[in-house]
Structure 1
Amino acid sequence: MSKTVPDNQEETSIKEQKGEESEEEEDLEEIVEERVYTVPLRDAWRTPRQRRAPRAVRILKSFIQRHMKPESIVISNEVNEHIWRRGIQKPPRKVRVRALKDRDGKVLVRLAEGD
């Protein structure tokens, strides 16, 4: 025997899926400015080994602050994991990121893959 799903449940799940897509579209519409940067993190290597990855994150934030003049900065988990991938002692020498600024002046920093 196969299970039958009432029509109203199918419509609900389709509407939920469309609702998720429309929220993503709204986020994309709010983007005012988008830039791709290669951020040099070499100054992090001048600090003691046990402080390099946190220092690299601070360097990234200050770079974005200097170039985009945002109200606030949000670094995505993928960028954070990319910096911390090899541990606290060996962050990357540079990282390529995409900075997205919305109407409120908030900047989201993501990895720039595929460019």
Structure 2
Amino acid sequence: MSESGGMVKSVHVIPLKRVYFGRRMNRADRAIRLVRKYVARHFKDAEKIILDPELNKYIWSCGREKPPRRVVVEIRFNKNEKEARVFLKRVK
């Protein structure tokens, strides 16, 4: 984690394996919710969580039924505004 002023940057690998345990038709929806839940758990002060459109496209890239098993993201948390922004770091 690197800090500069009120900004904290960190890279996380979020496992999305849990979304495969439920119904097939809702997997990408649940993957998005799981990413938000993961960020909320790791950045407890975050009142607002914003996902990058590229991350959303990547999760939905193989359709609703087959999201990726894991995703590498960069989370930028602004302490002053209590806002966490989630960006796609790299595609495997």
Normalised by the length of structure 2, the TM-score is: 0.87
Is 1:106 the counterpart of 2:69 in the alignment? Answer: no
Structure 1 segments, 4+ long, off by >3 Å, are none
Q: Identify unmatched segments of 5+ residues in structure 2.
A: none
CA distance in 1, matches of 2:5, 2:77: 8
SS class of match (2:33): helix
CA distance in 1, matches of 2:48, 2:19: 22
Is 1:88 the counterpart of 2:78 in the alignment? Answer: no
In terms of fraction of residues, the more strand-rich structure is: 2
- Superposed displacement of residue 113, structure 1: 2.8
Give a deviation string over 1:13-62, Cα, whole Å, max 9, x none: xxxxxxxxxxxxxxxx7751011000000010011110000000001100
- Superposed displacement of residue 68, structure 1: 1.1
> For residue 19 of structure 1, what is the aligned residue in structure 2?
none
Note the aligned Cα RMSD (angstroms): 1.6
Q: Identify unmatched segments of 5+ residues in structure 1.
A: 1-28
Q: How many residues end up aligned between the 2 structures?
A: 86
SS class of match (1:39): strand
Q: What amino acid is the match of 2:75?
A: A
Q: 1:37 aligns with which of 1, 6, 12?
A: 12
Normalised by the length of structure 1, the TM-score is: 0.70
Q: What amino acid is the match of 2:15?
A: P
Question: Which has the higher mean CA deviation after the structures are superposed, 30-39 or 72-81?
Answer: 30-39
Q: Compare CA radii of gyration and give the structure with the larger one.
A: 1
